[in-house]
Structure 1
């Protein structure tokens, strides 16, 4: 809502400055060059500066949102390309099946 009011003020001010420039150009002692200078110095340059300064917080939010989206995409790509984890170790403290072969004698028995 506030942003819409700001743009209405900008449009209104540019209209006033345009009318000042027309009055400058149509005056008997005025010139078209004076009208152009009036329009730029009273209208476009100050309004461009005000709009730029007023949009600074919004630009910062957009930059932060874009960086957050890029970070999230980077993390998603990293998890998709990650090497799968190995099988968890045996928590039962028993020997694995591969270790129980005939060539390895059992503990405590002599062959």
Structure 2
């Protein structure tokens, strides 16, 4: 799907270069390329963001803090 976005960037860049002034070309680039593509690409990644959030919530926290680890060493008598 990114190939379509790249092709659209190319088309809009060519449109912007044919505008009579720099300001008009810049506004064409912003209004036809940056805003619409940012919205479309954000919506395309919605399912990936949702899946990543679910995986993050499902994964248990397995990293003990340094204080807990030190207290466990004292209790078991381990010296490293």
> Fold conserved (TM > 0.5)?
yes
Aligned to 2:6: 11
Q: Which runs of 4+ in 1 moved over 2 A?
A: none
Q: Which has the higher contact order (CA 8 A, sep 6+)?
A: 2
Give the number of aligned pairs. 64
Aligned to 1:56: 46
Normalising by the residue count of structure 2, what TM-score does the alignment of the two structures yield?
Answer: 0.74
* Pair member with larger Rg: 1
Normalising by the residue count of structure 1, what TM-score does the alignment of the two structures yield?
Answer: 0.54
Instruction: Please state if 1:21 is matched with 2:16.
Output: yes
Give structure 2 stretches of 5+ with no counterpart. Answer: 65-80
Distance in 1 between the 2:61 and 2:42 partners?
30
In the TM superposition, what whole-angstrom CA distance separates every residue of 1:26-78 from its partner, at most 9, and x where no partner exists? xxxx1100000000000111011000011011100001101111xx226x96x
CA RMSD for the aligned pairs? 1.5
